[in-house]
């Protein structure tokens, strides 16, 4: 289970996205892109045109996290545009199986995200449809929030379900991941770590990515 770090550009400078992505491209594995529509979450960020523009400037694959009301309609376009991974929320998708299959058919990795209060067990049978399970460790919508320890037992249960399913689904945690919390996430079974504030809130984002990786591997 190799550790992967996916810095969130939500905490980067939106007027200098290409430069901020370049700052972490030697150290990170992915670039996490938070798409918010002010309906599924109470915040508005960026959408497909910005992702398309960023794809031309990023040496790393884009890990697109869609916090939007109608992912069935929009997710395929992110995969077709060339995103490496497209994650939809279980709470928002009306036809998750179809949408996850469409994402894969377009050549991207398919991801399913669960909010802190959404149980993982109902989605056990979907593990074969996904390449990554994202467990939110804050309520989605904003960077810089406090890590919710209450989600850790679910991370453990999800790792167990993945093990039992004999699949190679990646287990991502997103929200409040820092030097201080990443070890607990790794110990619980997460292997892909999103970090916004803990990377772009620091003077040296690349060094912060390396420190997070070292902490997760400990
Ligand atoms: C929150 C987003 C996260 C956010 C994480 O809704 O999905 O990806 O950028 O930011 P930090 O690491 O600052 O909590
Ligand atoms: Zn995210």
Which ligand 1 atom sits nearest the alpha carbon of residue 32?
Answer: 8
* Ligand 1 center–CA 44 separation, angstroms: 13
Q: Give catalytic residues, as residue numbers.
A: 34, 174
> Is position 65 annotated in a ligand binding site?
yes
Query: How confident is the model at residue 1, as a pLDDT?
Result: 72
Helix axis angle, 17-24 to 205-217, nearest 10°: 40
Task: Say what the pLDDT of residue 109 is.
Answer: 99
Give distance in angstroms: CA of 80 to centre of ligand 2.
20
Q: Which residues of the chain are under the pLDDT cut of 50?
A: none
Which CATH class name applies to 4-217? alpha beta
Are 116 and 90 in contact by the 8 Å Cβ rule? The answer is no
Looking at residue 100, its pLDDT comes to 98
| Domain edges within the chain | 4-217
**142 appears as a binding residue in the annotation:** yes
Separation of 36 CA from ligand 1 center, angstroms?
A: 11
Return the ligand 1 atom nearest residue 41 CA.
Answer: 6
Residues with CB under 5 A from ligand 2 (ion): 34, 65, 174
pTM for the predicted model, two decimal places: 0.98
pLDDT at residue 13 in the model = 98
């Amino acid at each position: 289970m190799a550790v992967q770090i996916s810095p969130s550009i939500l905490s980067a400078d939106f007027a200098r996205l290409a430069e901020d992505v370049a700052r972490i491209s030697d150290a990170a594995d992915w670039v996490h892109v938070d798409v918010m529509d002010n309906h599924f979450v109470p915040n508005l960020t960026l959408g497909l045109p910005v992702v398309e523009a960023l794809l031309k400037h990023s040496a790393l694959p884009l890990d697109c996290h869609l916090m939007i009301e109608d992912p069935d309609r929009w997710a395929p376009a992110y995969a077709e545009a060339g995103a490496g991974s497209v994650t939809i929320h279980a709470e928002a998708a009306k036809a998750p199986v179809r949408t996850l299959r469409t994402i894969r058919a377009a050549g991207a990795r398919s991801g399913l995200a669960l909010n802190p209060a959404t149980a993982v067990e109902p989605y056990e049978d979907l593990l074969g449809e996904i390449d990554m399970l994202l467990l939110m460790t804050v309520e989605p919508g904003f960077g810089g929030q406090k890590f919710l320890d209450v989600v850790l037992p679910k991370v453990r249960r999800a790792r167990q379900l993945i093990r039992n399913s004999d699949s190679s689904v990646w287990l991502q945690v997103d929200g409040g991941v820092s030097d201080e919390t990443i070890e607990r996430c790794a110990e619980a079974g997460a292997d892909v770590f999103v970090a916004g504030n803990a990377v772009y809130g620091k003077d040296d984002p690349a060094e912060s990515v390396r420190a997070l990786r070292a902490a997760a591997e400990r």
